[in-house]
Structure 1
């Protein structure tokens, strides 16, 4: 491994473009390579981000001996195959959320990363936001008393287009796994894996257009969560305690403002906001760790189990989806 940790980016879509911009802000990182199924797209992406190597297939990028870490930014349905191939090639992996669409596939990646001694993490960037860390501190300190409930939603209106990745089942579309993972992640962060999962929603073209969830915990503690592609849900969080509340009024995925019992706290992100997550990957890889305690393998598996239970109750399953 060189002085700089050398990254390869698989895919050239919007999220890859945004994260790569933040990745280039880290002084001890070199974005060495990018791949796309269309070589001209990889070359254009490489030119934009000053990346020296462009490949027309991700297998060529994985065969590059100089790549240390692979960032997987393909559509959801391809995550397992690409991440598995990267780990098998001896690369550390940061994989966009959801890391896989089924629990067995995620367990397979976890097992392989541990077997090979390679770092693997699902990219739920919210977990590394300083205000989210502050939220946990506030609750642990008892500033709002005993926490009783959580409300969290993330949704927007998106015209139905069967070719759009969020409406296309073949690409792992739907609101729950793409948007709902954020509210569910907050519930897991504060309360852990729920005892009960109750979900109600609607399907359009085989994918969920909207889902409402009630997660139940011991003693009546609960979380009410929502995701939608057909309603402009407020993308915020409210945590209610016996003596007060904490509110993330907007942007729950990357909060810049939080209100604790009427007192405001702010955060000005470096870059777009992915830098804390990317720094965590670099630090853990250099330390020889296979996972991050802030977004552990066990946590990813628990969140996916909750999502899978909710999906099943609204009639959504990805078991019949295969990579083309």
Structure 2
């Protein structure tokens, strides 16, 4: 098995989760990390046994030993950091949202194709066992037609106008950070909606602190989706079907428990996994790289385009604009 030597750009909270799970993936090692602070890079590198610790992203992408780069920088940097990596022919796993808008995503995809280099959006839910189970259950037809999806992702964040969540210059707000998960759920299960309704509470820093969306499909399905950084909710996803229900339990995007109710029979399904849950997408990406694939069949360019286009449409409806 070819060993995939990873680099990480941006060393915040999610990078720690990724690095933790990377240690569990056979055939993948953390080789290099980069931060704008040498002290932070050295500390992170020591904690996760990185070989190289850089104080600039340019140094990392120029290192010939790096095979793949995980981009964990703030949303507003995803586009430029991805282009930097691709221009040095480094395979890129870029944290969601892929970029700030469809135009940026198109440039990222075009650059990946021009450099014949693997690029994938890191939306880890797509690769997790509980989500694959739900997809298979719906596709079996046993539950009949889906009527509604209700999915929320809300938590109470401490207000910090300079922090990532409330700072508009960093792409703050609930929609791009966590609203993307309920949207992903609807798009992945039902495809592009025929009609979207949305409203939001725009806070004093200019970001959406709460967003509520309704996706309507000509098939009769309605998806009721919401995100908030002002309040805590169960963060579940419930599918009501003709013959039963499927419930992705609390923190549905990463849960290890799904409840099914079919013709009166209730079953609790346990998908216990080790680590944080990033293991599955890391393994998938590493295998794509070994097989010299340039695009993921599970997290395809077509789906990333659909996702960012939908986010753009919702932002237009709630009048949320970024520079």
Which of 261, 274, 277 is the equivalent residue of 1:273? 277
2-structure distance, mates of 1:234, 1:225 = 13
The size of the alignment, in residue pairs, is: 318
Asked whether the equivalents of residues 149 and 223 of structure 1 are also in contact (C-alpha less than 8 Å), the reply is yes
How is 1:89-128 mapped onto 2 (pairs within 5 angstroms)? 89-128=88-127
Equivalent residue, structure 1, for 2:244: 244
2:309 is equivalent to residue 305 of structure 1: yes
Asked whether the equivalents of residues 121 and 292 of structure 1 are also in contact (C-alpha less than 8 Å), the reply is yes
Asked whether the equivalents of residues 227 and 233 of structure 1 are also in contact (C-alpha less than 8 Å), the reply is no
Following TM superposition, by how much is the alpha carbon of 1:6 offset from its aligned partner in structure 2, in angstroms?
0.7
2-structure distance, mates of 1:64, 1:197 = 45
Equivalent residue, structure 2, for 1:225: 225
Following TM superposition, by how much is the alpha carbon of 1:315 offset from its aligned partner in structure 2, in angstroms?
1.6
Equivalent residue, structure 2, for 1:169: 168
Please give the per-residue CA displacement for 1:132-180, whole angstroms capped at 9, x wherever unaligned.
Answer: 0010110011121111211100001113210110000111100001000
1-structure distance, mates of 2:213, 2:183 = 9
- What is the SS of the residue equivalent to 1:231? coil
Please give the per-residue CA displacement for 1:178-218, whole angstroms capped at 9, x wherever unaligned.
Answer: 00000000001110011111101111111000000001111
2-structure distance, mates of 1:165, 1:189 = 27
1-structure distance, mates of 2:165, 2:142 = 39
2:293 is equivalent to residue 294 of structure 1: no
Equivalent residue, structure 1, for 2:10: 11
2:296 is equivalent to residue 317 of structure 1: no
Asked whether the equivalents of residues 62 and 86 of structure 1 are also in contact (C-alpha less than 8 Å), the reply is yes
1-structure distance, mates of 2:43, 2:158 = 29
Following TM superposition, by how much is the alpha carbon of 1:308 offset from its aligned partner in structure 2, in angstroms?
1.1
- What is the SS of the residue equivalent to 1:226? strand
Asked whether the equivalents of residues 2 and 290 of structure 2 are also in contact (C-alpha less than 8 Å), the reply is no
Following TM superposition, by how much is the alpha carbon of 1:127 offset from its aligned partner in structure 2, in angstroms?
0.4
- What is the SS of the residue equivalent to 2:219? helix
2-structure distance, mates of 1:309, 1:15 = 27
Asked whether the equivalents of residues 153 and 179 of structure 2 are also in contact (C-alpha less than 8 Å), the reply is yes
Following TM superposition, by how much is the alpha carbon of 1:27 offset from its aligned partner in structure 2, in angstroms?
2.1
Worse-matched range after superposition: 4-13 or 287-296: 287-296
2-structure distance, mates of 1:53, 1:219 = 53
Equivalent residue, structure 2, for 1:77: 76
- What is the SS of the residue equivalent to 2:94? strand
RMSD of aligned residue pairs (Cα, Å): 1.1
TM-score normalised per structure 2: 0.96
How is 1:43-54 mapped onto 2 (pairs within 5 angstroms)? 43-54=42-53
- What is the SS of the residue equivalent to 2:250? coil
Asked whether the equivalents of residues 68 and 93 of structure 2 are also in contact (C-alpha less than 8 Å), the reply is yes
TM-score normalised per structure 1: 0.96
Equivalent residue, structure 2, for 1:146: 145
Unpaired stretches in structure 2, ≥5 consecutive residues? none
Equivalent residue, structure 2, for 1:58: 57
Following TM superposition, by how much is the alpha carbon of 1:307 offset from its aligned partner in structure 2, in angstroms?
1.1
Please give the per-residue CA displacement for 1:221-264, whole angstroms capped at 9, x wherever unaligned.
Answer: 11100000112122110011111110012111211100111211
Following TM superposition, by how much is the alpha carbon of 1:220 offset from its aligned partner in structure 2, in angstroms?
2.1
How is 1:192-203 mapped onto 2 (pairs within 5 angstroms)? 192-203=191-202
Unpaired stretches in structure 1, ≥5 consecutive residues? none
